[in-house]
Each structure stands twice: as C-alpha cells, then as structure tokens.
C-alpha cells in the first residue's frame, strides 16, 4: 500500500526537557501556541490521547504508542470530527527531540498508509503554523500567529 507522509524539522532555542513539557504537560502553554487547542493524555505508552478544540470538541483521538521523555513520542492518531478524514483510518505521528548545540532539533513525521491522503494534506497546513508559534513562544515569550487562518490585510 502507498503511504502519504509529512515531515517537518525545526530548531528551537530551548532544552529538550522544556520542549517536552511544552508538547505534553503544560496545557495552558499548549493552548497559546495551538490556537486554543490542547492535547490530553497520560503521556506513557498505552495511554489514551485526544486533541480537544476550544469549546470541548474532540477533533482527534488515539493512543500513545511510545514515550521516551524528553526524546521521542509516537502517537496513533485518528481524526474524529470530519467524516472524510475519519474514514481514512489511523495515522502515525512521531515527534523526535535531539539536542543540537544550544537548540533542540524537533522532527515531526506524520504518515498514513494511503495515498493520496486528505488527512496528511490537512496536517501539512497545520503543523508549520503550530510549530512556528511554539518556537516563537519558547524563544521570545509570544506567538507569531494569533489565529490559524488570519484574514489578509
């Protein structure tokens, strides 16, 4: 079967521990860079995982397949709210954190066993915005985007 994959790599001036916390533990911090959205989980292998939108709707859900703080996180991920994306089945999202001098290299690989994939198209538009906000928030204390799809001015 063909596979659709999105890969994104960024470098953030922080520590692996602080980045791990921003990605997993610190819900209020997460809401700042993820446009009000946050993820809930026990963050250990076998834990349930869900993405909660502002207002409480669960847009994505799955399971933590692997958690090696502060180095690697693998999530089995299935979209919940849009029927056409839900029908594509489960995807795999792998986050890898590696110290790189005074920064951390964050690599995200999001893939699904189908091609083409509307889900991968959707996440490929979202991840860069979320990660730009995360990087900016960790490095400067503020996000670069207040909304995911700002109106043109």
| Confidence (pTM) | 0.93
Mean pLDDT of the chain: 95
Per domain, the residue ranges of the chain are 14-101+121-139
Residue 116 DSSP one-character state: S
Local confidence band at 153 (pLDDT 50, 70, 90 cut-offs): low
Supply φ then ψ for residue 141, to 5 degrees.
90, 0
CATH H-level superfamily of 14-101+121-139: START domain (3.30.530.20)
pLDDT score, position 40: 97
Locate tokens 């659709």: which residue?
4
Read off the pLDDT of residues 104-146 as tens digits, 9 standing for 90 and up: 999 999 999 999 999 999 999 999 999 999 999 999 999 999 8
Read off the pLDDT of residues 33-78 as tens digits, 9 standing for 90 and up: 999 999 999 999 999 999 999 999 999 999 999 999 999 999 999 9
pLDDT score, position 113: 96
Give me the sheet containing 48-52, strands edge to edge.
4-12, 103-112, 91-100, 72-79, 58-68, 48-52, 38-41
């Amino acid at each position: 079967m063909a596979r659709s994959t999105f890969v994104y790599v960024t470098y953030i001036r922080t520590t692996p521990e602080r980045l791990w916390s921003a990605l997993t533990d610190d819900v209020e911090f997460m809401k700042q860079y993820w446009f009000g959205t946050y993820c809930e989980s026990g963050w250990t292998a076998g834990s349930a995982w869900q993405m909660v939108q502002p207002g409480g709707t669960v847009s994505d859900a799955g399971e933590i397949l692997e958690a090696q703080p502060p180095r690697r996180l693998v999530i089995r991920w299935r979209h919940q709210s849009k029927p056409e994306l839900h029908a594509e089945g489960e995807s795999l999202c792998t986050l890898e954190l590696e110290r790189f001098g005074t920064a951390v290299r964050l690599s995200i690989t999001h893939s699904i066993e189908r091609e083409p994939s509307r889900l991968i198209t959707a996440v490929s538009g979202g991840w860069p915005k979320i990660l730009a906000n995360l990087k900016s928030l960790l490095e400067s204390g503020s996000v670069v985007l207040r909304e995911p799809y700002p109106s043109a001015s």
